[in-house]
Structure 1
C-alpha cells in the first residue's frame, strides 16, 4: 500500500508531502484562505495527477504502435462547483499536444483509451461527477 507523509513546513498551511521513495510535493492554501503561495493547491494537484496519469498511458500506447513522439505537452483546465462545500471539479478540458510523426487516428484512440479505460485519476474524477472533454492536436516534427 502506498504511503504518503505530510509535514507542515511553512506558515499555517504550507505542507510538504513525501512518498515512500522520497519524492516531495509542496502544497499550500490560497492567500485568500490564509496560505502563502508556498506550493500547489491540493485541488490543482488532482488536475496535475490527471495529466500525468493520462500522459503515461498515451505515450505508452503510441510507443507500442511505433509512433515517433518528439515532445508531448498537455493543457488542463477545470471549473469547480460554485456555492457548494466541498467544491468538486465540475468540468475539465484537456488538450493533448503531441509533437512528431504521429498518426492522428492513433493519437485520438490512445487518448480515448487512457481517459475511458486506463487512467484511474480520470475514473475517480468522473465518479465524483466531473465531465472531462478533450482534444488531440498533432504538431508535425
Structure 2
C-alpha cells in the first residue's frame, strides 16, 4: 500500500493539475513556445523547489531546537541539466542565505549538515543522480 498518493489530471494544452491527499492542489505547465500557457511551474523546477523546501524545513526545525535566532532565511537552488535526453540534473548547488549572530554560525552549519546527511529525503534522492554542493552565505 502506498504511503502517499498524488492524483494528476490533464486539463488541456500542456497543463496538468495535481491533487494531493492532504487537499492541496498544484498546477504544472510549460511555456507558450512549448505548447503551454505558462500557468504553473515546470516539473523539473518543482523538483528544485521540493529540495529547497525539504532542507529548509529541516534547518528551521533544527535551529528552533537549538534556540538560534535567525532572520532573512532563504534558499537558492542552482542546477545544470544534461545535454542529452532524458535531460536530468547533473549538478545541483544549494545556497542557504541567513542572518544569525556570529557565535551561532557553527550551529547553522551543524543544522545544514544534519539536513543533508540525515534528514532531508529529497536531498538524499538528488544525491543518487546529481553531484550536490552546499554553501551558506551569512548576512
Farther off after superposition, 51-60 or 85-94:
85-94
Shift of 1:123: 0.8
TM-score by length of structure 1 reads 0.88
Secondary structure (helix, strand or coil) at the match of 1:86 reads coil
Does residue 39 of structure 2 align to residue 38 of structure 1?
Answer: yes
The answer for unaligned runs of 5 or more in structure 1 is: none
Count of equivalent residues? 136
Question: Where do 4+ consecutive residues of structure 1 move more than 4 Å?
Answer: none
Shift of 1:91: 0.9
Farther off after superposition, 117-126 or 27-36:
27-36
Does residue 90 of structure 2 align to residue 93 of structure 1?
Answer: no
The answer for unaligned runs of 5 or more in structure 2 is: none
2:10 equivalent among 8, 11, 14: 8
TM-score by length of structure 2 reads 0.89
Q: How does 1:1-141 map to 2 (within 5 A)?
A: 1-9=3-11, 11-83=12-84, 85-101=85-101, 103-128=104-129, 130-139=130-139
Shift of 1:133: 1.1
Secondary structure (helix, strand or coil) at the match of 1:87 reads coil
